[in-house]
Amino acid sequence: MAKKNLGVNTICTHVGEIKDTQFKGAISPMYLSTSYAFEDVDVKRYPRYFNTPNQEYLSKKIAALEHSEAALIFGSGMAAISTTLLAFLGAGDHIVLQNDLYGGTRNLIESQFDRYKIGYTFIEGTSVLDFEKAIKPQTKIIYIETPSNPLLKLVDIKAVSKLAKSKKIVTVIDSTFATPIVQNPIDLGIDIVVHSATKYFGGHSDITAGAVAASQSHIDTIWSLAKDTGGSLSDFTVWMLERSMKTLAIRVKAQNKNAKKIAKFLETHAYVSKVYYPGLKSHPDHELAKTQMRSFGAMLSFELKEGIDASAFLKALKLIKPSMSLAGVESTMILPYLASHALLSQEERDAQGISNRLIRFSVGIESAKDLKHDIHRAISQINASTLIDN
């Protein structure tokens, strides 16, 4: 199949499916064998070699979606991220990272990299100049995450890729929040794309997985460590992930559409003081968003007006679930200061602009009017009770 010419929904549905030649079933069979022949075979297959039939074929779907030559599927987003970084970094090397990063990634670097004698710099801003200033002769990787969690800050993917290329530095992007439906970093010059497939790829809050997409030679480098560190995903879950990814594009598009409506609704709501969403004109990176994203994602965050208790608001919601994690078909909200950023000190959170009133909203596929109603009703309810208490 000429993958390049296929529409995104067709890639989601069909690329990388395994033909059921035995029974002619419509979907990929699940191969749970951990033991394959070693003689008279082209490939010696073993789950921890990332090359069972289901692993190998689903990787093709991910590569097709990310416009990369190859891909690998991991047991979690952090397995994908840690293996990728450690495959390219050794003692004496240096990595430049965006300051706003997924908490687990930041912890990995801050808690482990000193032991491996890998240097790192978290840059202050998000401009290309900020990245350039942090580069050292030993820098091997520039790592970005755009849009970022939870303030949806953007990095200019094309400009950072160009800078890195000029200095022969490998670029890695965590594109979990965007998905390949929203942006294709490889087309903008990025070398390696990592995903927490626990989020939109899975999309139903029921599997943990990770993925990496890159050129065959970069994938080979990552694989040479991955097969020994062993962060592969079980074939049962690979099969679940394939099923989930068939609807990736339609889910993400519906969620993006909802998020845009909700962001506009929140921006004009009397009890909301601030909304962070790249699709709003008020977002500082809105113009950049239009150049590198097809739509604006389904993650947003907002602050309630001073005096409104964010925890009470979350408890008053009936439809939207206050819960960790994100990107399922169901809408969820979280207080980053109590969850994803709980390990940071108050000063670190203040420096990053994460207040105790900040709410991160993972917008699902429910009807937008019901989501708006839930938010409005919860705010009115707690605001009324605050007034009564006074």
Ligand X SMILES: *Cc1c(COP(=O)(O)O)cnc(C)c1O
Tell me which residues touch ligand X (CB under 6 A). Answer: 76-78, 102, 104, 145, 149, 174, 176-177, 196, 198-199, 208, 210
Smallest distance from the beta carbon of 367 to ligand X, in angstroms?
25
Q: Which is nearer to ligand X, 94 or 199 (CB)?
A: 199
From the list 57, 102, 276, 337, the catalytic residue is 102
Q: Which is nearer to ligand X, 53 or 210 (CB)?
A: 210
Smallest distance from the beta carbon of 369 to ligand X, in angstroms?
28
Q: Is residue 44 among the annotated active site residues?
A: no
Q: Is residue 48 among the annotated active site residues?
A: yes
What are the Cα distances from residue 60, in Å, to 72, 73, 179, 185, 271?
9, 10, 16, 17, 47
Please tell me the distance from the alpha carbon of residue 328 to that of residue 308, in angstroms, as a whole number.
27
- Asked if residue 17 lies in contact with residue 28, where contact means CB atoms within 8 angstroms, the answer is yes
Bond preceding residue 147 cis, omega within 30 of 0 = yes
Residue nearest to ligand X (CB): 77
Smallest distance from the beta carbon of 18 to ligand X, in angstroms?
24
Q: Which is nearer to ligand X, 77 or 180 (CB)?
A: 77
Q: Which is nearer to ligand X, 82 or 295 (CB)?
A: 82
Strands 332-334 and 358-362: antiparallel
Smallest distance from the beta carbon of 70 to ligand X, in angstroms?
20
Q: Is residue 102 among the annotated active site residues?
A: yes
Smallest distance from the beta carbon of 327 to ligand X, in angstroms?
8
Q: Which is nearer to ligand X, 85 or 272 (CB)?
A: 85
Tokens 């549905």, residue?
A: 13
Q: Which is nearer to ligand X, 51 or 198 (CB)?
A: 198
From the list 93, 100, 156, 174, the catalytic residue is 174
Smallest distance from the beta carbon of 39 to ligand X, in angstroms?
37
Q: Is residue 199 among the annotated active site residues?
A: yes
From the list 106, 140, 153, 199, the catalytic residue is 199
**Hey, which residues are catalytic here?**
48, 102, 174, 199
